[in-house]
Amino acid sequence: MNYVRNAWYVAAWSSEIEGMKPFAITILGEPIVIYRGESGRLAALEDRCVHRLAPLSLGRCEGDRLRCMYHGLLYAPEGKVVEIPGQQQIPPRAAVRSYPIVERHSWVWIWMGAAEAADETLIPPAVGLDHPDFILGHGQLDYEAEARLINDNLLDFSHLTYVHAESFGAGEEFASTQAKIEPVERGIRYQRWIENSLGSSSRKSATPMDSYMVYDFLIPGVLLMTGGVFPLGTAAECGYGTPDLSHAVSGTTFTSQAVTPLTAKTSRYFFSWGPHRDHGDEAVRDILMGIAGKAFAEDKVMIEAQQRVIDRSPGAQIMPTAHDKGVTLFNRLIEKLSREERERVGIAA
Amino acid sequence: MNYVRNAWYVAAWSSEIEGMKPFAITILGEPIVIYRGESGRLAALEDRCVHRLAPLSLGRCEGDRLRCMYHGLLYAPEGKVVEIPGQQQIPPRAAVRSYPIVERHSWVWIWMGAAEAADETLIPPAVGLDHPDFILGHGQLDYEAEARLINDNLLDFSHLTYVHAESFGAGEEFASTQAKIEPVERGIRYQRWIENSLGSSSRKSATPMDSYMVYDFLIPGVLLMTGGVFPLGTAAECGYGTPDLSHAVSGTTFTSQAVTPLTAKTSRYFFSWGPHRDHGDEAVRDILMGIAGKAFAEDKVMIEAQQRVIDRSPGAQIMPTAHDKGVTLFNRLIEKLSREERERVGIAA
Amino acid sequence: MNYVRNAWYVAAWSSEIEGMKPFAITILGEPIVIYRGESGRLAALEDRCVHRLAPLSLGRCEGDRLRCMYHGLLYAPEGKVVEIPGQQQIPPRAAVRSYPIVERHSWVWIWMGAAEAADETLIPPAVGLDHPDFILGHGQLDYEAEARLINDNLLDFSHLTYVHAESFGAGEEFASTQAKIEPVERGIRYQRWIENSLGSSSRKSATPMDSYMVYDFLIPGVLLMTGGVFPLGTAAECGYGTPDLSHAVSGTTFTSQAVTPLTAKTSRYFFSWGPHRDHGDEAVRDILMGIAGKAFAEDKVMIEAQQRVIDRSPGAQIMPTAHDKGVTLFNRLIEKLSREERERVGIAA
């Protein structure tokens, strides 16, 4: 798996980690147990007891500690064994890896790289479910596919015309014209104006308007998208650049999406979506979530089928098209960052 | 997989390929999409878009063309990409493999070898469901077993006495005596007389008769069988050779069967069976299909179990018996033809 | 799989091997068919016909012989082919392996090593279901885990405090103190006194008593456990050694358990349990079996989860604790015996 390790991966919704109940997840192939101790503190440990390799996620929370329920070894949230039943001395090596873990924007984020390099400023600025400006629904899907294929999907929106012909309802012109794509810090930015349009199924207008969408796609695989509908002529007025979103007359929504590689061939996809308070209410949110539910199922069918084809096609080459600019920029960035990580480890060794 | 490539493989019943609906199948491990375009024309393409390896079988027929429904590349029935949304130029290498495909005898046949070698005269002379002389039922079964094991089964009918003790109901003497087996063009011919018999469960007589069966088993794995019941003494009169089938007094049926290797360890088995119009009607066909349903399920249980034993027995040797003449002749033929194919490719390279 | 071959493995309950019905099992990765012929005699053969590798377990018993129901080869209970339909001569190599097989203590035992080394005195002295002194229930579980992990579980009872907190109900002190563990012929013996106790969920007392348990764990993976409840002070009186079990005032039970490696990663676990006639009746047996059902399901959850962690942790090391004495002694014994077997084969070759 060629993924960046020095990055924050979404491991769960905050609400999934209940108090005193260990939660198991595998990220980048590493089994991890997350738990929220008595004090409310989150911890993320390697999910494998040092004694006989039983999973700690079958364990029992005791205060802020976690006890392996096979033979009773007790772990501190930093990973050290602090009790071995029937044995006085605890060997210094009796410890599992502890992962930096942060709760923010309604997600639980885990840093998969070197703990000393963990930098909370690198957490992508997602919009949490409790954000005052947006009314958000949320969901998640597990994929039998590598995360890279889902990232690729989210980096080339020309698929909306085909995969989502029946859901998002973008027309032919969406695929036949190019969006503006440029690199940003740890990711790419995608912007596009659709002029003189009655909107799509998720953003309809009674009269022709200019519609704008923008998203950042950030390391390790987080999409943050917004936009809005503007009076006819706004696109040209701002030179097809970035409008002042507060001038949108309708249709402003926000979606945060995160792709987490579980194993080499499985992934978890988290998403929220909903309208700005000024442009919608709970009913609009429910309509949007209905559309998203249909559309994300369409992606899943296509991407899992694509994965199966890839698996039986060793050596098959891809052939990028003009729409692949975002895909190419982002994958080169992954390549560069993960190479730098490997080199850094090489120097340290 | 040691199979002959320069051969016509049954890919489907004609009726399975509806108009404008892509149909996915894997033959010899190669994913193939078959579709019947607006004009009625059949096409068979490699089921893997050149762009990002999505399956074309999730695509949409447009006229006689097929559009990949991931990012919209459009394919001609010969395999060339004729449209890339958002891109003017189409690279010359933008094409997938196209397979020769022919519809005949109610089956859709695909040539898996070099396209320039495709020779329609090599299509085995099966009897289609619309044949005026026979009233045929049909069915199919998917196997978790390599095609070779099903071929072997069909090449040694001594198994009727044991596997089909409860269905076809051939007696002990069927296994204890030998059939006449001889090579024919691209296959073997199996003939046997059963003298002075009241028949088996699928061909009963009120008085003792001579019963004759004959089948050809042809490359790549097609069984074509007929026979009939004759007056006592006919076997001896014709020297236990080939009778004039038009002299049969009853019991003439025809069965066409085809074994298609999907992957190295999975196969699809197609079959039809039914009486000659002079010797039966729809009711007889239904009785025969009931017997076949039971018998072919018996084969499947045995052959899939055999496959599992083989899989856990690396290096285990078989021990041929006197009944294996047909098996041996046919497998040698496969060996010879596939070796010649490899050598031809070697010379061409 | 590093297991001892010169040992008797439990293949089935006696009652599972009905007359004239072949029974399939895989032991140490070897497919075996067991059958009880017309005379009542048991036979165990390699489950793979010499002809085309079909499983003999799909065969038909004929007297004390077994016929392969693919093409009819007939096997004697010693493994030799005695009939090949349609063929006069039987090649001398037409034979499958025959395994020494013995029925004892309600179990069918198979010797997996060299037949000439089979020694019935090595059958562990389990208590059969028909034993006059005990009222026994029985059951079995299939594991998706290697047998070694189940053995390890049974060799370290400190897990009772954690895995079985809700079933056997051993308290904290059970895990915090050590049992007496010593080597015995082909195994280890585990003994422990619990003084001044009201018992556990499976052995409750109205007044404080001394409770004793003892088990042998024997090659290849057989646990034989008994014990009882004694007047307060008995533990000290006998120097915390072995009491005279006939002096137990209550709570004497017997459990026989056997772990059989099916394949490298699957196992079958057989068990019986129940009270001594003097200390219980059918109702007590049913209570014990209810507790065992719950407890053995708890073990299965933990051990199969442990197996999955091990499978995704190549190279991960275990860290034995003070409670692992029995585990270590037994695994060293397996190591020693299997190494001697390999050396013996080396000398013989």
DSSP class of residue B127 equals P
Q: Residues of chain B whose C-beta is under 8 A from some C-beta in C? A: 152, 156, 158-159, 161-163, 165, 172, 175-178, 301-302, 305-306, 308-310, 312-313, 316, 318-323
Residue C219 lies in a domain: yes
Nearest to A49 by CA among A24, A79, A22: A79
Chains near A (3 or more Cβ pairs under 8 Å) = B, C
- The answer to whether A322 contacts B70, with C-beta atoms less than 8 Å apart, is no
pLDDT of residue C218: 98
Residue C348 lies in a domain: no
Nearest CA in chain C to A52: C318
- The answer to whether C309 contacts A86, with C-beta atoms less than 8 Å apart, is no
pLDDT of residue C41: 95
Residue C204 near residue C108 (C-beta atoms within 8 A)? no
- The answer to whether B158 contacts C71, with C-beta atoms less than 8 Å apart, is yes
Strand order through the sheet with A42-46: A23-27, A30-36, A42-46
Shortest CA gap B317–chain C (Å)? 8
- pLDDT tens for A136-172 read 999 999 999 999 999 999 999 999 999 999 888 788 8
Say which amino acid occupies B184: V
Q: Is A43 helix (H, G, I), strand (E, B) or coil?
A: strand
Q: Are residues B246 and B328 in the same domain?
A: yes
What is each CA distance from B220 to A60, B159, B260, C87, in whole angstroms?
Answer: 61, 21, 8, 29
Low-confidence winner among A52-66, A188-202, C284-298 (lowest mean pLDDT): A188-202
- The answer to whether B86 contacts A158, with C-beta atoms less than 8 Å apart, is yes
pLDDT of residue B197: 86
- The answer to whether B85 contacts A175, with C-beta atoms less than 8 Å apart, is yes
- The answer to whether C156 contacts A71, with C-beta atoms less than 8 Å apart, is yes
* Placement of tokens 């930015």 in the chain: A189
Nearest CA in chain B to C32: B309
Residue B10 near residue B262 (C-beta atoms within 8 A)? no
Q: Are residues B67 and B148 in the same domain?
A: no
Q: Are residues C73 and C171 in the same domain?
A: no
Residue A192 near residue A180 (C-beta atoms within 8 A)? yes
Q: Which residues of B touch A305 (CB under 8 A)?
A: 54-55, 58
- As a whole number of angstroms, the longest Cα–Cα distance in chain B is 78
What is each CA distance from A72 to A86, A338, B328, C108, C169, in whole angstroms?
Answer: 10, 38, 63, 37, 14
Query: Considering just the CA atoms, what is the radius of gyration of chain C in Å?
Result: 22
Shortest CA gap B200–chain A (Å)? 46
Q: Residues of chain C whose C-beta is under 8 A from some C-beta in B? A: 26, 29, 31, 47-48, 50-55, 58, 67-73, 84-87, 91, 93-94
Task: In whole angstroms, give the CA distance from residue B66 to residue A163.
Answer: 15
A239: containing domain:
137-333
Neighbours of B172 (CB within 10 A): 12
Task: In whole angstroms, give the CA distance from residue C43 to residue C21.
Answer: 12
What is each CA distance from C324 to A50, A71, B91, C163, in whole angstroms?
Answer: 14, 10, 67, 16
Q: Which residues of B touch A319 (CB under 8 A)?
A: 50-51, 91, 93-94
pLDDT of residue C301: 98
- The answer to whether B163 contacts C85, with C-beta atoms less than 8 Å apart, is no
The answer, yes or no, to whether the previous bond of C231 is cis (omega within 30 of 0) is no
Of A31, A72, A93, the CB nearest to C162: A72
Exposure string over C230-248, b if 16+ CB within 10 A, otherwise e: beeebbeebebeebeeeeb
- The answer to whether A323 contacts B85, with C-beta atoms less than 8 Å apart, is yes
Q: Are residues A62 and A204 in the same domain?
A: no
Q: Which residue has better confidence, C344 or A307? A: A307
Of A53, A67, A91, the CB nearest to C306: A53
- The answer to whether C161 contacts A85, with C-beta atoms less than 8 Å apart, is yes
Nearest to B293 by CA among B156, B142, B141, B134: B141
- As a whole number of angstroms, the longest Cα–Cα distance in chain C is 78
Q: Which residues of B touch A306 (CB under 8 A)?
A: 52-55, 70
pLDDT tens sequence for chain B (349 residues): 689 999 999 999 999 999 999 999 999 999 999 999 999 999 999 999 999 999 999 999 999 999 999 999 999 999 999 999 999 999 999 999 999 999 999 999 999 999 999 999 999 999 999 999 999 999 999 999 999 999 999 999 999 999 999 888 788 888 888 999 999 999 999 999 999 988 776 677 788 999 999 999 999 999 999 999 999 999 999 999 999 999 999 999 999 999 999 999 999 999 999 999 999 999 999 999 999 999 999 999 999 999 999 999 999 999 999 999 999 999 999 999 999 999 987 766 5
- CATH code of C285's domain: 3.90.380.10
Tokens at A139, concatenated: 């969901």
Distance of alpha carbon A89 from its chain centroid, rounded?
43
Q: Terminal CA-to-CA distance of chain A, rounded, Å?
A: 21
Low-confidence winner among B53-67, B82-96, C81-95, C199-213 (lowest mean pLDDT): C199-213
Residue A80 near residue C315 (C-beta atoms within 8 A)? no
* Helix or strand (DSSP H, E) at A189: strand A187-200
Whether the CA torsion C68, C71, C72, C74 is positive or negative: it is negative
Tokens at A47, concatenated: 């999910």
For residue C272, the cross-strand partners are C138, C256
- CATH code of B21's domain: 2.102.10.10
What is each CA distance from A289 to A13, A202, A300, in whole angstroms?
Answer: 17, 10, 16
Q: Is B324 helix (H, G, I), strand (E, B) or coil?
A: helix
Q: Are residues B118 and B240 in the same domain?
A: no
Q: Which residues of B touch C70 (CB under 8 A)?
A: 159, 162-163, 302, 306
Q: Terminal CA-to-CA distance of chain C, rounded, Å?
A: 21
Shortest CA gap B78–chain A (Å)? 19
Task: In whole angstroms, give the CA distance from residue A26 to residue A20.
Answer: 19
Complex prediction ipTM: 0.94
Mean pLDDT of C231-245: 95
Residue C62 lies in a domain: yes
Instruction: Please determine, for residue A349, whether its predicted confidence score (pLDDT) is greater than 60.
Output: no
Query: Considering just the CA atoms, what is the radius of gyration of chain A in Å?
Result: 22
Residue after which a domain boundary falls, among B95, B122, B149: B122
- The answer to whether C322 contacts A91, with C-beta atoms less than 8 Å apart, is no
What is each CA distance from A241 to A227, A238, B73, in whole angstroms?
Answer: 12, 6, 29
Length of chain C: 349
Residue B338 lies in a domain: no
Residue after which a domain boundary falls, among A122, A153, A181: A122
Nearest to C266 by CA among C44, C27, C10, C55: C27
Residue A97 near residue A79 (C-beta atoms within 8 A)? yes
Q: Are residues C224 and C327 in the same domain?
A: yes
Whether the CA torsion A155, A158, A163, A167 is positive or negative: it is positive
3-state secondary structure C148-202: HHHHHHHHCHHHHHCCCCCCCCCCHHHHHCCCEEEEECCEEEEEEEEEEEEEECC
Neighbours of B106 (CB within 10 A): 20
Mean pLDDT of C318-343: 96
Instruction: Please determine, for residue C340, whether its predicted confidence score (pLDDT) is greater than 60.
Output: yes
In a mutational test of the A interface, the residue from C176, C319, C323 whose CB has the highest number of chain A CBs within 10 Å is C319
Q: How many CA atoms lie within 13 A of C219 on its CB side?
A: 26
Q: What's the structural domain count of chain A?
A: 2
Residue A33 lies in a domain: yes
What is this structure's pTM?
0.94
Of C163, C176, C308, the CB nearest to A86: C176
Residue A75 lies in a domain: yes
Instruction: Please determine, for residue A119, whether its predicted confidence score (pLDDT) is greater than 60.
Output: yes
Q: Are residues C301 and C219 in the same domain?
A: yes
pLDDT of residue B138: 98
- The answer to whether C29 contacts B320, with C-beta atoms less than 8 Å apart, is no
Q: Are residues B186 and B104 in the same domain?
A: no
Residue C46 lies in a domain: yes
- The answer to whether B306 contacts C71, with C-beta atoms less than 8 Å apart, is no
Q: Are residues C116 and C146 in the same domain?
A: no
Q: Which residues of C touch B162 (CB under 8 A)?
A: 67-72
pLDDT of residue C290: 96
Q: Are residues C198 and C76 in the same domain?
A: no
pLDDT of residue B174: 87
Given its phi and psi angles, is residue B106 left (phi above 0), alpha (psi -120 to 50 degrees) or beta? left
Torsion, Cα of C214, C216, C217, C218 (10° steps): -170
Shortest CA gap A263–chain B (Å)? 21
Task: In whole angstroms, give the CA distance from residue A329 to residue A315.
Answer: 23
pLDDT of residue A1: 62
Cβ-Cβ pairs closer than 8 A, A with B, add up to 80
Given its phi and psi angles, is residue C169 left (phi above 0), alpha (psi -120 to 50 degrees) or beta? left
Q: Are residues A80 and A150 in the same domain?
A: no
Q: Are residues B195 and B144 in the same domain?
A: yes
Residue after which a domain boundary falls, among A69, A89, A122: A122
Burial-class residue A243 by CB neighbours within 10 Å (0-12, 13-18, 19+): buried
pLDDT of residue A199: 77
In a mutational test of the A interface, the residue from B52, B58, B81, B89 whose CB has the highest number of chain A CBs within 10 Å is B52
What is each CA distance from B316 to B158, B295, C51, C53, in whole angstroms?
Answer: 23, 28, 11, 8
Kindly give, in sequence order, each residue whose CB lies less than 8 Å from that of residue C283, ignoring residues fewer than 6 positions away: none
* Placement of tokens 């270590």 in the chain: C328
Residue C338 lies in a domain: no
Of C58, C71, C91, the CB nearest to B323: C71
Nearest to A285 by CA among A138, A132, A107: A138
